[in-house]
Amino acid sequence: MCGIYFSLSTNGSVLPNEETCNLLRNRGPDSYQVHTTQQELSLNHTGQTGAVSVTLTFISTVLSLRGDHVYAQPLVDSSTQSVFCWNGEAWKIAGEPIQDNDTESIFQLFLRATRSSSDAVDREDPVRHIAGVISNITGPFSFVFYDAVNSRLYFSRDCLGRRSLLQGLDESGSLRICSVCDSSSSSHFEEVDTNGVHFIDFEQDVLQNALVSGAVKFNLDAIQTLRWEHKDSTTSCLRSPISYMNKSVPNGTPPSLTIDSCPIQELERRLRQSLHLRIQKVPDPPSTTISDMKVAVLFSGGLDCTLLARLSHDILPKNETIDLLNVAFENPRVAAAAAGKEGATSSVYESCPDRITGRAAFAELQRVCPDRNWRFVAIDIPYTETVAHRDMVKRLMRPHNTEMDLSIAYALYFASRARGIALNSRDSSSEPTQYASPARVLLSGLGADELFAGYARHGVAFARDGFGGLIDEIHLDVSRLGKRNLGRDDRILSNWGREARYPFLDEDFVSYVLEAPVWEKCGFGVPEPSETTEVDYTGIDPEKKALRLLALKLGMANVAREKKRAIQFGSRTAKMEKGRTKGTDALS
């Protein structure tokens, strides 16, 4: 995880204010570096010819999780003066796993792409070469790359939007691109669109004169976009890594799904592959006496996160502890309602739905995997603490600004802080103790609901329009993943110097799930297995049925039957104050 800041200005180097610098350092505590360079631009928008010097300022902070040492950024090529800021995890390039540092590998590929086309007559060649490199990257990313050879600036996010990057103009007309909203600018910041690779050609007109003030400002129309095309396209130079969705409907009644069905076996294999990339070779956390743990799970006790924890057990060495981060909030509205009930004595935290399911799933993991030390971290957040951090959470999630955004962000913010009361499964007889997890890698189950039809509206769509309606609803969810909330979540989760990893959103895994017929993913319209089977399939809901059957196969019968619950209701961050606010209402 890294922090990126870039500015393009005619008024010298434009730096972020102290607050933004601190947020960038929070994202990348291992390195902070600034690099500036100059570019001469022609200015002829008003019919007058001339030139103006602009300053390009690059800042990178680094959370080092790849390679054997800290690779400080920005990377600068000594021979061409090209500059690279990278925030991502390139798990594979052209299908081959990267063994060393991914930042250096991507930079060298970009440099090779710019040099190989520097003598070409066709000005489009460098863009196509850069796009070809990006098309071959598997993993989440955002980046800013200055091609000094061809006088271009590239910036982008991956097509699923798993890493944050925002853009905006300040009052003087300087362009800013940043991992977080730069509060030193009063102008609007917006998320960089995930529809393709954006670039600025400095040999074209990128500046404009303000007629009243005479100031020279950046021209937003100068930003060009090379759009993602389908992965099987033979003509496009920027190919999406995501497959088309299989929209076929069954001819008759589809076959039953069981834990021994081929689709469930293949699902397990594919999910293990995705998870293996994300939790192997994680370096030891720095400056800590706890050397037996590196990975934590954002853990509600629900199906998706518990499945990731269970599979992680099979991949990680047995001597490593896995932290299970479970957050619960004091909600005054809920507490007041409970206080009025006779005999209400339970803890406001222990009565939270996610705390109840979290402890139950913790017990099931101990039963199924007794040779692993599981550390359950109960993160209890008093209402006063929620209020104290409100402004910071709102600051991080910007430009998102609704009540629902805030309630979800609260849960992610405090869960990723990872401070609470810890209970070790290998020492359950001892008293729980105060604990702060040193884990720098956080596993999240995000994406499972969209891919495997986990929301109630998927059932509504099937009841209304059958398989066709169900397929359309899943397709809508997947198609808008890159435009929804992953950028917000990245800004929140990375604030504590940790990196969220999403095994369900691995490009190869997403493509595999999309290519599978819908009746192999969920149980709508699929008959129950024969009653003669030795496995008890009762109570397995149709939502995400394939994942539920995989949990059942792995010995987690209770987790396989766990109901879907939104994070803001499970942790009780929704509707903390009395009133009639809706989740879609804008914050004041």
Print the SS3 string covering 161-180: CCCCCEEEECCCCCEEEECC
Question: Which domain, by its residues, includes 28?
Answer: 2-239
Do both 317 and 201 map to the same domain? no
- Do 235 and 300 fall within a single domain? no
Answer yes or no: is 499 within a domain: yes
Tell me the CATH number at 371. Answer: 3.40.50.620
Give the DSSP H/E element, type plus range, for residue 275. helix 262-279
Number of domains in the chain: 2
In this prediction, residue 587 carries a pLDDT of 80
Same domain, residue pair 95 and 203: yes
Angle between helices 303-315 and 262-279 (to 10 degrees): 70
pLDDT per residue, tens digit, the chain (588 aa), is 799 999 999 989 999 999 999 999 999 999 999 999 999 887 655 555 677 899 999 999 999 988 778 889 999 999 999 999 999 999 999 999 987 789 999 999 999 999 865 454 455 688 999 999 999 999 999 999 999 999 999 999 999 999 999 999 988 889 999 999 976 554 578 999 999 999 999 988 888 876 545 678 898 899 999 999 987 777 678 999 999 999 999 999 999 999 999 999 999 999 999 999 999 989 888 866 666 789 999 999 999 999 999 999 999 999 999 999 999 999 988 888 777 665 555 789 999 999 999 999 999 999 999 999 999 999 999 999 999 999 999 999 999 989 999 999 999 999 999 999 999 998 867 788 999 999 999 999 999 999 999 999 999 999 999 999 999 999 999 988 888 889 999 999 999 999 999 999 999 999 999 999 999 999 999 998 877 678 899 999 999 999 999 999 999 999 999 988 888 887 888 878 766 666 677 887
Please tell me whether residues 234 and 319 are part of one structural domain: no
Domain boundary among 223, 239, 255: 239
Q: Does residue 188 lie in a domain region?
A: yes
Closest by CA position to 561, among listed 542, 547, 548: 548
Q: Are residues 400 and 302 in the same domain?
A: yes
Alpha-helical (H) ranges within 53-206 are 102-116, 125-135
Q: Which two tokens stand for residue 306?
A: 């518990």
Q: What would the two tokens of residue 559 be?
A: 């987790």
| Domain shared by 211 and 301, yes or no | no
Domain at 217, CATH number: 3.60.20.10
Predicted confidence at residue 213, as pLDDT, reads 55
Residue 54 belongs to some domain of the structure: yes
The owner of tokens 């631009």 is: 41
**Is the distance from CB of 190 to CB of 166 less than 8 angstroms?**
yes
248, part of any domain: no
**338 — phi, psi (to 5°)?**
-70, -35
Based on the fold, state whether residues 226 and 313 are members of the same structural domain: no
Q: Are residues 219 and 356 in the same domain?
A: no
Paired strand residues for 142: 87, 157
Q: Are residues 230 and 336 in the same domain?
A: no
Is the residue at 252 inside a domain?
Answer: no
Please list, residue by residue across 563-584, b when 16 or more beta carbons sit within 10 angstroms of its beta carbon and e when fewer do: ebebbbebbbbbbbeeeeeeee
Is there a contact between 17 and 186 (Cβ–Cβ < 8 Å)? no
Output Rg (C-alpha) for the chain, integer angstroms: 25
> Quick check: is 109 in a domain?
yes
Structure tokens at 425: 């499964």
φ, ψ at 329 (rounded to 5°): -115, 150
Tell me the C-alpha distance between 549 and 544, whole Å: 9
Q: What are phi and psi of 449, to 5 degrees?
A: -65, -40
Residues 6/179, Cβ–Cβ less than 8 Å: no
Cis peptide before 74 (omega within 30 of 0): yes
Question: d(Cα 166, Cα 42) in Å, to the nearest integer?
Answer: 27
CA-to-CA distance for 77 and 246, rounded, in angstroms? 44
Same domain for 232 and 311, yes or no, is: no
Same structural domain for residues 408 and 519?
A: yes
Does 284 reside within a domain? no
244: in domain: no
Burial string for 36-58 (b: 16+ CB within 10 Å, else e) reads ebebebebeeeeeeeeeebbbbb
Rounded CA separation 362/323 (Å): 11
Strands 374-381 and 321-329: parallel
Q: Pick the closest to residue 551 from 452, 423, 469 (CA basis).
A: 452
Domain boundary residue, one of 239, 267, 302:
239
Spatial strand order in the sheet of 223-227: 75-76, 83-88, 141-147, 152-157, 196-201, 223-227
Distance CA 226, CA 499 (A): 28
Please check whether residues 227 and 325 belong to one and the same domain.
no
Catalytic residues: 2
